[in-house]
Amino acid sequence: MSRALIVIDMQNDFCPGGALAVEGGDQIVQPINRLMTQFDAVILTQDWHPADHASFADNHPGAQPLSMTQMPYGPQVLWPAHCVIGSEGAHFHAGLDLTRADMVIRKGFNPQIDSYSAFFENDHKTSTGLAGYLRDRGLDDLTFVGLAHDFCVAWSAMDAARQGFTATVIEEATRAIDLDGSRDRARADMRAAGVQLE
Ligand code: VGL
Ligand code: ZN
């Protein structure tokens, strides 16, 4: 088995001071850098939204950030604008070791569909191409870390398990947004999907 570390969305906007800051997000940078040395491959994901993205509350007149809306593909949280293509907030945290990354996969660039998972957009149909890349390289044992535990990390790990990869989340190297109990829900959902929590 070849093992890949998949580092989810370690970007400025998800760290303290960012547009969608996750509490303690910056505390996991060094632990993630240390983990990178223990894997056969390292893949980074980068949330990458156009300014007119449908997941931004600003693009829904009258809507509050963190309220819910209905999209053609299902319910969707409306987020403060974040990780706008090319912005400082979309850059990786300055302390993250980028030298070990074999590949960076961007997601969320389709203006009409959000993409929490590294594998599929939120319609659960449109592939990012990551599964094919991993299979072509024989990377079948995947470990997930990064931000945010209860959204992009959880959705990525569950999609990995559903597609037949071995999927583990190292919880110490994640932090959660924890919106209305989303952290506990994500843990239960991940376990039910066959994701190992360490
Ligand atoms: C994320 C909300 C919106 C994440 C990305 O990385 O968990 N959450 N976009
Ligand atoms: Zn996003």
Residues serving a catalytic function are 9, 107, 152
What would the mean pLDDT of 117-134 be, rounded to a whole number?
Answer: 97
**Which residue has a Cα nearest atom 2 of ligand 1?**
151
pLDDT at position 179: 95
Identify any residues that bridge with 56 across adjacent strands, giving them in sequence order: 79
Q: Give residues (CB < 6 A) around ligand 1.
A: 9, 14, 47, 79, 116, 147-148, 151-152
What would the mean pLDDT of 87-108 be, rounded to a whole number?
Answer: 98
Most ligand 1 atoms within 8 A of CB, residue of 48, 55, 116, 185 to mutate = 116
How many whole angstroms separate alpha carbon 113 and alpha carbon 195?
A: 25
Question: How does residue 82 score in pLDDT terms, banded at 50, 70 and 90?
Answer: very high
* Cβ atoms within 10 Å of 95's Cβ, excluding its own: 12
Question: How does residue 1 score in pLDDT terms, banded at 50, 70 and 90?
Answer: confident
Please report which ligand is nearest the Cα atom of 113: 2
Cβ neighbours of residue 56 closer than 8 Å, sequence gap 6 or more: 49, 78, 79, 80, 81, 82
ipTM over 0.90: yes
How many whole angstroms separate alpha carbon 185 and alpha carbon 33?
A: 28
Domain ranges of the chain: 2-51+80-197
C-alpha of residue 38 to centroid of ligand 2, in Å: 28
Is the pLDDT at 78 greater than 90? The verdict is yes
Kindly report, residue by residue over 148-193, the tens digit of the pLDDT.
999 999 999 999 999 999 999 999 999 999 999 999 999 999 999 9
If one looks up domain 2-51+80-197 in CATH, what number appears? Answer: 3.40.50.850
Of 187, 194, 147, nearest to 166 by C-alpha is 194
How far does CA 79 lie from the centroid of its chain?
14
- The pTM of the full predicted model, rounded to 2 decimals, is 0.98
pLDDT at position 49: 98
Q: CA torsion sign, 18 to 23 to 24 to 25?
A: negative
Q: What is the mean pLDDT of the chain?
A: 98
What would the mean pLDDT of 124-146 be, rounded to a whole number?
Answer: 98
**Which residue has a Cα nearest atom 1 of ligand 1?**
152
% residues pLDDT > 70 (the chain):
100
Q: CA torsion sign, 114 to 84 to 161 to 187?
A: negative
Question: How does residue 48 score in pLDDT terms, banded at 50, 70 and 90?
Answer: very high
